[in-house]
Amino acid sequence: MKCILCRIGESVITLQQGPLCAECFVRYFQKKVYRTVRKYRMLTKDDVLCFALSGGKDSLAAAYVLSGIAKKQKQRMFAIGVDEGVKGYREVQLDDMRKFCKELGIEYRIFTFREEYGKTNGELMGIARKKGVEISRCTLCGILRRRILNREARKLGATKMVVGHNLDDEAETALMNLTKGSPELMARLGPSPGAAMHEGFIPRIKPLYFCTNAETELFTKLVGIKVLYKPCPHRRESFREYADRTLDKMERDYPGTKSTLVQNMLRLIPVLRKEHSSGKVNECSRCGEPSKGRVCKVCLTLGKLRIRA
């Protein structure tokens, strides 16, 4: 089938507007990201960007497009990767991250759970099970990783943290928060944060907010970003995976489900932010990081595991 835009190239994907060839698709994807960045005022010329890189397709695609903007605007940028110690998976992804950063000339740093917490996420989970601390592997991994990312990005002078969340991720998060979360958590969704929560908290922006998983995967293949197209082996155990499967089924039966869910969330977010503003954010009395409670989630959890960090 010929591309609907240039009418010359053979199509590589069929989107709502019709079939697109490789060249037109790459342009379409980049334009969609630029529009999202502009519409949600994600960047100012003075911003220092920190790319939070997992080494997977989404974070690398986001960094690929945004580093292009940052270079043109002569903005400072750097990348941070975090190794939680998932064997046979994260090392491969972090190798991809290193190569990607070297090719694009992006300075990067990699931090590990072992250096930070003395143990990998898997080892910490073992302790949690032994002590009867109820926490899921992915919740633990997420809070411990976010702490490193935010603190190190801040230390290195970042003013924005670029994350790779795409439309499918946001639909999953919306469904997860609707069924298991709270209005406060839902108020934090969206392509860019609302009012600054705390000066120690680096605002996260999601330039791939309207790009689907399939589009992002194809983009990385077409522009030659080498990545492992495989999720973490522990994702199977997570509620996110369950939400993902549920939404995939709904999307097959009722096409457009994910996009409608995200669009409806976008309409709700301003109301949620007004009604459920998350209140004052203080500093954790133990580690000094931004925290809603007197002690932050990381310190509370590590305390229960009797881990000093």
Q: Which is nearer to ligand SF4, 90 or 188 (CB)?
A: 90
Residues numbered 141 to 160 that lie near ligand SF4 (CB under 6 A) are 141-142
Residues 65, 69, 72, 77, CA torsion sign: negative
Q: Which is nearer to ligand SF4, 81 or 193 (CB)?
A: 81
Shortest Cβ 121–ligand SF4 spacing (Å): 6
Q: Please state the φ and ψ torsions of residue 188, each to the nearest 5 degrees.
A: -85, -5
142 binds, among ligand SF4, Zn ion, none (CB under 5 to 8 A by kind): ligand SF4
Per-residue b or e along 191-214, where b marks 16 or more CB atoms closer than 10 Å to that residue's CB? bbbbeebeeebbbbbbbbbbbbbe
Q: At what angle do helices 239-253 and 167-180 cross, to 10 degrees?
A: 110
183 binds, among ligand SF4, Zn ion, none (CB under 5 to 8 A by kind): none
Shortest Cβ 267–ligand SF4 spacing (Å): 29
Cα distances (Å, whole numbers) of residue 249 to 14, 65, 246, 258: 20, 30, 5, 11
Q: What is the longest distance spanned by two Cα atoms in the chain?
A: 64
Shortest Cβ 136–ligand SF4 spacing (Å): 8
Closest CA to 244 of 185, 188, 186, 168: 168
Closest CA to 111 of 77, 143, 149: 149
* DSSP per-residue codes, 98-163: HHHHHHHT-EEEEEEHHHHHSS-HHHHHHHHHHHT----HHHHHHHHHHHHHHHHHHHTT-SEEE-
Q: Which is nearer to ligand SF4, 81 or 207 (CB)?
A: 81
Pairing of strands 204-205, 160-162: parallel
Residue 220 sits in the site that holds ligand SF4 (CB under 6 A)? no
Q: Which is nearer to ligand SF4, 36 or 173 (CB)?
A: 173
Q: How many residues does the chain have?
A: 309
Pairing of strands 18-21, 49-53: unpaired
Residue 137 sits in the site that holds ligand SF4 (CB under 6 A)? yes
Provide the 8-state DSSP code for 10.
B
Q: Which is nearer to ligand SF4, 141 or 211 (CB)?
A: 141
Residues numbered 82 to 121 that lie near ligand SF4 (CB under 6 A) are 84, 86, 121
Shortest Cβ 237–ligand SF4 spacing (Å): 8
Contact of 24 with 9, CB cutoff 8 Å:
yes
Residue 238 sits in the site that holds ligand SF4 (CB under 6 A)? yes
Shortest Cβ 251–ligand SF4 spacing (Å): 21
Residue 234 sits in the site that holds ligand SF4 (CB under 6 A)? yes
Residue 138 sits in the site that holds ligand SF4 (CB under 6 A)? yes
Residues numbered 8 to 67 that lie near ligand SF4 (CB under 6 A) are none
Angle, alpha carbons 254-257-261 (nearest 5°): 155
Residue 296 sits in the site that holds ligand SF4 (CB under 6 A)? no
Shortest Cβ 257–ligand SF4 spacing (Å): 23
80 binds, among ligand SF4, Zn ion, none (CB under 5 to 8 A by kind): none
286 binds, among Zn ion, ligand SF4, none (CB under 5 to 8 A by kind): Zn ion
Q: Which residues bind ligand SF4 (CB under 6 A)?
A: 84, 86, 121, 137-138, 141-142, 232, 234-235, 238
